[in-house]
Chain A
Amino acid sequence: MKYESQKVAKLYFIAAIGLFVGQILFGLIMGMQYVVGDFLFPEIPFNVARMVHTNLLIVWLLFGFMGASYYLVPEEAETELFAPWLAYLMFWIFLAAGAATVLAYLLVPYATLAEVTMNHLLPTMGREFLEQPTITKIGIVIVVLAFLFNIGMTILKGRKTVVSLVLLMGLTGLAVFFLFAFYNPTNLVMDKYYWWWVVHLWVEGVWELILGAILAFILIKTTGVDREVIEKWLYIIIAMTLITGIVGMGHHYYWIGTPEFWQWWGSIFSALEPIPFFMMTVYAFNMVNRRRRNHPNKVAVLWALGTAVMAFLGAGVWGFLHTLAPVNYYTHGTQITAAHGHMAFYGAYVMIVLGMISYSMPLMRGRELCNSVRSQSLEMWSFWLMTISMVFITLFLTAAGILQVYLQRFSDNPMDFMVVQDKIALFYWLREITGLIFLIGLIVYIASFFIGQDEPEATVEPLK
């Protein structure tokens, strides 16, 4: 760690991990409700658990992105953060707003929350992932703008690298496309059309720039490969991301009251979306193989390679699986979608944030380069526990999805939705059990911050 102000990232990362735990607990509650329908009913209805699960996911990833930026940008710009006090202030505002919103979900009926926050003045609530009260959404905009200002000013007064520029573009896009969350016409088709400008243009657009920039930073630091090489790869990967991903948004415009030409545009362009993910995998392994040094933070490298592979599997392979219109006709809105959503989010965004934490946290806690062997091997255990669980969660949901599609939509005697759900309960049980193992992995992950801290740092043989 070269600059004192990078340390603000620590707070952001701690909050991120805390909220991650909450996310998984509510995932497990829902997983239980899938098989034992009245579990916690009517205290925590499924929709409430789902809001908590998905909103915590988004909020903790945002905390992670912000923390990553606060760590990365001063180091790239070779200057202290523009206004550390602003970063601390925004941290507490964001945490308080997030906590208040989640508590409100849990403590009052959603309709009451809509009423007391005067949703009718500017209705934005009650849409998937955008359930937050309008006032919370405005708060998010303020926090993100203050954050962008802080990061932007830091870059402006320091060295301008490709990595921090790409990061800044991604973050700016995140802020800009979030504004579509405030557009909610009665016309459902138009509502849905622009809802995707938040959701799709985030995860298959600007967030990939953030992913690419953080990954590039970790690779530069841990492999010592020439920055020029890594930056060229970064540009070409994000070029492919946006060239395919912008029009690839058409894969959401097949069946929602949009013109049928989208079936062609969406299928063709989104079928190309796996390319940048594949390139990212090739590049990550390439850089590690061509490394100029052996970095003792082996677990950070493991996360970096892991995110490249898992993002390709979850977004690239599982995305491609159901992205062509004739396939999506049957799989649209089934467990196949859920399977893909889980592995893609985990592979691309959870793992990159955990990777950045893995690289930077030891340095912020006063280590020279990395944690002890003991801490690192514990963290590697958590890597494998969580990653393998996520693979199996995805596989079980895919199996459930294939059966669901067949029984409900494809066979000669299609069955009712609820009848089908009963028939595929076995796979939901398997998903839930695997989810418990994921939770164990997460507990081991947290333990790795405490165990082995008093032991000396790991060392490696220098590269010959």
Chain B
Amino acid sequence: MAQAFTKAMARNIFYGGTGFFFLVLLALTFQTHQEWPELDNRQAINDVVTLGKQVWEDNNCVGCHSLLGEGAYFAPELGNVYLRFGESTDAIKGFIASRPVEGIPGRRSMPQFNLSEEELTAIAEFLKYVAGINTAGWPPNIKG
């Protein structure tokens, strides 16, 4: 690089650019917080959903599944599973409760988590809440 462009200039671009774009991020974050009430389905959050998220986390469901496209890619997307299962929380509960302990020979199997009735209801309600989040039209179709 030519003499005209000095190390001091490079350093100033670094500090100035970083500072400026961090402020831009903060501004966009502020705007995001303003728009969230319309998008994030917060009105659906209650004690049952809160317990449901805890069940989701305590069993590391995201270690196999994706949720809104984030997580693992070993098992189906669950952000829209409530819709895929015909908007039935009972179908979700039945599926989770009926997983065989020893798995299905030769196939990818979901573990049997031995959830209580209360936990089953909670996780299903949590997934119903997630299905109500406005995701800008994602996923492209019901398959997830």
Contacts and interface: CB of A to CB of B under 8 A. Distances in A.
A84 interface: no
Given A188-B130, A409-B143, A256 B135 contact: yes
Contacts of A462: none
A243 B77 CA distance: 33
Contact of B24 (A126, A228, A247): A247
Interface string B48-80: 011001101111111110111111111111000
A189 B36 contact: yes
**Candidate in B71, B77, B111 with the most chain A CB atoms within 10 angstroms:** B111
A48 B45 CA distance: 29
A126 B1 contact: no
Interface in A189-248: 189-190, 192-193, 228-229, 231-232, 235-236, 238-239, 242-243, 246-247
B120 to A, nearest CB: 14
B18 interface: yes
A246 B25 contact: yes
Q: Which of B57, B112, B130 has the most CB of A within 10 A?
A: B57
A329 B13 contact: no
A257 interface: yes
Contacts of A246: 18, 21-22, 24-25
Given A51-B63, A128-B71, A239 B136 contact: no
Interface stretch (A95-103, A107-115, A140-148, A352-360): A107-115
Given A47-B63, A232-B6, A236-B13, A332 B138 contact: yes
Given A192-B70, A246-B18, A187 B102 contact: no
A258 B130 CA distance: 13
Contact of A50 (B1, B63, B101): B63
A125 B58 CA distance: 7
Contact of B60 (A30, A37, A110, A334): A110
A184 B14 CA distance: 32
Contacts of A250: 28
A236 B7 CA distance: 9
A250 B56 CA distance: 26
B35 interface: yes
B126 to A, nearest CB: 8
A42 B68 CA distance: 27
Contact of B77 (A258, A261, A417): A417
Contact of B17 (A50, A192, A239): A239
Contact of A232 (B10, B42, B77): B10
B interface residue count range (under 10 / 10 to 19 / 20 to 34 / 35 or more): 35 or more
B109 interface: yes
A415 B140 CA distance: 12
B88 interface: no
B133 interface: yes
B54 A409 contact: no
B17 A333 contact: no
A378 B141 CA distance: 50
Interface string A372-415: 00000000000000000000000000000000000011100011
Nearest to B6: A232
Contacts of A285: none
B113 interface: yes
Contacts of B56: 126
A126 B10 contact: no
A416 interface: yes
Contacts of B53: 186, 188
Contact of A255 (B64, B104, B129, B136): B136
B98 interface: no
Given A188-B133, A235-B13, A409-B141, A120 B54 contact: yes
Contact of A242 (B5, B17, B138): B17
A453 B137 CA distance: 60
A62 interface: no
A316 to B, nearest CB: 19
A460 interface: no
Contacts of B76: 416-418
B78 to A, nearest CB: 10
Given A190-B40, A247-B25, A259-B39, A37 B106 contact: yes
Nearest to B119: A111
A127 B57 contact: yes
A417 B62 contact: no
Interface of A: 30, 33-34, 36-38, 41-42, 45-48, 50-51, 110-111, 114-115, 119-120, 123, 125-128, 131, 162, 184, 186-190, 192-193, 228-229, 231-232, 235-236, 238-239, 242-243, 246-247, 249-250, 252-263, 265, 329-330, 332-335, 337-338, 408-410, 414-418, 421
- The 3 tightest CB contacts between A and B, nearest first, are A47-B63, A126-B57, A333-B69
28 contacts: A30-B74, A33-B74, A38-B108, A50-B72, A111-B58, A126-B58, A126-B62, A128-B70, A128-B71, A188-B67, A189-B133, A192-B70, A231-B7, A232-B6, A232-B10, A236-B13, A239-B17, A256-B70, A256-B133, A256-B135, A257-B36, A259-B32, A333-B66, A333-B70, A333-B73, A333-B77, A335-B73, A410-B140
Given A47-B63, A189-B40, A410-B140, 13 more contacts: A37-B107, A38-B106, A42-B101, A110-B59, A162-B11, A187-B42, A235-B13, A250-B28, A258-B39, A333-B66, A408-B143, A414-B143, A416-B76
